[in-house]
Structure 1
């Protein structure tokens, strides 16, 4: 199939009217949807807005940065939103329920004491020393905590609290 000047003009007209590549191919006849897309690309015709509005409307607003580090503490509520989704060549609008998550304020604990590390190497560890790794294993400064650990644990009391969290706390953190 040759792209004659008349067919190219008709393609440009139909494209500017907002017809899809499949619809244009059907009206031109003797040409595939992919051929229409290729010709549109080669002609550098301007793109059309996607159905459902702009992408800026769907992006979440960015919050300003805070100066103090904050751990997430969330409260959820349910709301209804209208969304668009493709179903074949048709875009459908439907209302869905969305769980909105809002961050709540909390207080930062300042009474946490992190124990000093004894900076032991792997060969220096015993059954009674903390085996919590610190740093990057590929770097020279990598070491283990090395503080005293209870008999039933490979970690000191501080690192055991980090390693072994009750399942209820893990569920809340998600």
Structure 2
């Protein structure tokens, strides 16, 4: 159907009442939702009355509540990517290498440009300093690190608490059973 003056006026009235494009298309008949949206844009209809939808179940916080919330420290502070956090936090601690780090001679140190497919890719030092380098030792086949760094990176999973308790329960039961067997053999 064509857009007659009466249909355009009805469209404007229904749009200002807050009906959706689908609802307007249903009332007008003979047009699709997309046709209604296109006509609304061509007419330049922008401001809409509030819709008849139910308000959200959570009211927005008032300014007083928002101010209180901002003064309370966050339980889990998030400052973005932890790898670059020190760049933007002036009070952050400077990087300190771990005590158990391998000492790599200057001649064997690798930069990102000198790494090859067989080199350990374990980063050592602060990337913001000139002393930053990679381990560069021969890597373990199938892993990106040498044997020392692979042990640090891929630690075996620790048994879960429940499993440890079950193992302890079995151990106690076996000990009781052994004690019972010993007393039965000495009594006989």
Q: Does the alignment reach a TM-score above 0.5?
A: no
Structure with greater proportional helix content: 2
More strand by share: 1
TM-score (norm 1): 0.42
The higher-RCO structure (CA 8 Å, 6+ apart) is 1
Of structures 1 and 2, the larger Rg is shown by 2
Q: TM-score, length-normalised on structure 2?
A: 0.40
